[in-house]
Each structure stands twice: as structure tokens, then as C-alpha cells.
Amino acid sequence: MMLFKQFEPSREVSNLIECYWVAENKCTDVCKEKIIPDGFPEVIFHYKAPYRINIAGNWQTQSKNLMAGQVRNHFFLENTGESGMVGIKFKQTGLTHLFDLNMKELTDKVVPLASKVGDQLNDIITIVGKSTDPDEKIREVDEWLVNFTKSHCFSDVFVDSVVDFIIDRKGMIAIRELIDHFDISERKLERVFNKFVGLSPKFFSRIIRFNYIFKLMKEEKHNWTGLAFSSGFFDQSHFIKNFREFTGEDPSGYLFDQQNMANFFLYR
């Protein structure tokens, strides 16, 4: 059985990092996992066997150190042996702030880490590769990132305010409301979101609203009609269609209680 564990970042990097996570499994049997959009980019370090990925219709073996941008649909992973991973789940704009990346170039992609940041995170690769327990790995990674980010100055924080506003509204907001609230043109809003987030504000809002379904499920609100209404859908058919688009399944058939990667990331 896969062991999952999440960790809060230090206050000094909480504006850039959503959380850290560790996943381990000593079983070598091949297990296919579905990954569902959760609205966050990630950097992932494998300290055991790498995974295979099917994100565009064909299976490929991944690099052991990866960067994953925003994804707009579910995709699949499978292990090639024992699993051991450390993940850094960044805030939506964190990778652009740190490395001046254009996140649009990473949308629907999982790429070798070195192709985007070179050797800047090699120290973390070394830390993760040490034979220490998960808590110690994360403590050292967090400490290193606190020191690494001290020399960075983040001047463009406007987009962070928009992202936070969308999240606070659970994704239930029209683009016109954003334009009026922040006194910005739709064209500029789209341009800024493409660079810093990798998605349009409208699609990002859809993902956040979809994620809110899982929060409601965690609170044991299982009535489908009430769940649809609480997550901003005017009718159940629209709710089901949206859920199916992100997961490939109807909500009534989705295994919300199953211990898998998708639920681990969505039940934060």
C-alpha cells in the first residue's frame, strides 16, 4: 500500500509553496494511478524507481527529477518498481516568481527538471537521495528553500491577488467580476495568467470550483443535488458533465474514499 504524507512549508516560503509531500511504496507490482487537475504546479524528485506517464496517449518513462505544469485533464502514471517520491507543490505563480518561467509553456506537460531550471535545485536532489526518513528529508528541503529564496525579490504580485480572489470565491466567479474588481482589461488579465499560471483565468476558476467538490465531500455532504448547488452549478447535469470532463467518470461512480494519488492530492 502506498504511504502518503503531506507537510506544511515554513512561513518564510508559504507565499511560494502550498505544501510538500512524500509518497512511498515497497511493492513492485505495477499499479496504474489516475492524476486529476488540482490547480497547482509541482517539482517532483524520485529517490527510488521512476514512473511511466501517459499524458498524451502514449506511455513514456519519466526522468527521476521532474517539473509538472498545470494540467487541464486527467492522465495516468504507473510505477516501474518500488516507489519513493518527494514533491514540492508550488503556489500557482511560485515557479514564475522563482525562475522567471513562462508557465504556458508547461501546460499539460511533465518535463525533466534540468530542462527548466538547470542545476539550481541539485542540492535538493542530493538531500532527497539521502537515506533519511521522510520527515527529515522534508525538513532539510524546506530549510534549503528558505535560504535559497532569501535572495529573490518578487515585484509583480498583482496576479497573486487575482489568484487568491478566485480561490477565496471557490472558483465561482465570472471573468467580468474579475475585470471590474481589479480594474484590468480582459486582454491583460489573460496575458498575465498565461505567463504566471499557465491557464486562462476562466479555466483556472473551473479547476478551483471542481476542487471544491472534494472539500464538500470531505465534510460529508453527499446529497448530489445539494453538492451541485453548493459548488456553483445550476443543475445536476451540468455538475456531472464538469466532473466527468476532469475525471473521466461520473461522480456517482467515483471512489472518493479510495486511497490513491488523485484523492491524496485533492483531499488536502
Which of 71-80, 147-156, 196-205 shows the lowest per-residue confidence on average (mean pLDDT)? 147-156
State the average pLDDT for the chain: 92
pLDDT-based confidence at residue 155 (cuts at 50, 70, 90): low
Report domain extents, the chain. 3-149, 158-266
- Assess whether pLDDT exceeds 80 at residue 254: yes
CATH architecture, domain 3-149: Sandwich (2.60)
Q: For residue 108, what pLDDT band results from cuts at 50, 70 and 90?
A: very high
Average pLDDT over residues 260-265: 83
Tens-place pLDDT, residues 191-219: 999 999 999 999 999 999 999 988 888 77
> So what's the pLDDT on residue 268?
63
260/74 Cα distance (integer angstroms): 14
Q: Is there a contact between 52 and 80 (Cβ–Cβ < 8 Å)?
A: yes
Residue 261 has pLDDT above 90, yes or no: no
pLDDT in tens, 159-196: 999 999 999 999 999 999 999 999 999 999 999 999 99
What is the tens place of the pLDDT at every residue in 18-34?
Answer: 999 999 999 999 999 99
Q: What pLDDT score does 57 carry?
A: 87
Cα 139 to its chain centre, rounded Å, is: 21
CATH 3.20.20.70 corresponds to the domain 158-266: no
Q: What percent of the chain has pLDDT over 90?
A: 76
Q: How many of the other CB atoms lie within 10 Å of CB of 168? A: 10
CB atoms within 10 A of CB 222: 10
| d(C-alpha 246, C-alpha 17), whole Å | 24
Instruction: Provide the pLDDT for residue 137.
Output: 95
In the block, residue with C-alpha cell 464538500: 216
The string of DSSP codes covering the chain is --EEEEEPPPGGGTTTEEEEEEEEE---S--EEEE---S--EEEEESS--EEEESSSSEEEPPSEEEE---SS-EEEEESSSEEEEEEEE-TTHHHHHH---GGGGTT-EEETHHHHTTTTHHHHHHHHSS--HHHHHHHHHHHHHHHHTT------HHHHHHHHHHHTTT---HHHHHHHHT--HHHHHHHHHHHTSS-HHHHHHHHHHHHHHHHHHTT---HHHHHHHTT-SSHHHHHHHHHHHHSS-GGG--TTS-SHHHHHH--
Q: What is the pLDDT of residues 221-250, one digit of tens each?
A: 567 888 888 888 888 899 999 999 999 999
Residue owning grid cell 456531472? 240
The pLDDT value given to residue 221: 58
For residue range 8-21, list pLDDT tens digits in order: 999 999 999 999 99
* Cell numbers found for residue 31: 499499479
pLDDT for the residue 236? 87
Residue 119, C-beta contacts closer than 8 angstroms, at least 6 positions apart: none
How is residue 176 written as a grid cell? 467580468
Q: 68 with 41: CB under 8 angstroms?
A: yes
Task: Report pLDDT for 222.
Answer: 63
Residue corresponding to grid cell 521532474: 66
Which three cell numbers, joined as nine digits, stand for 202? 476562466
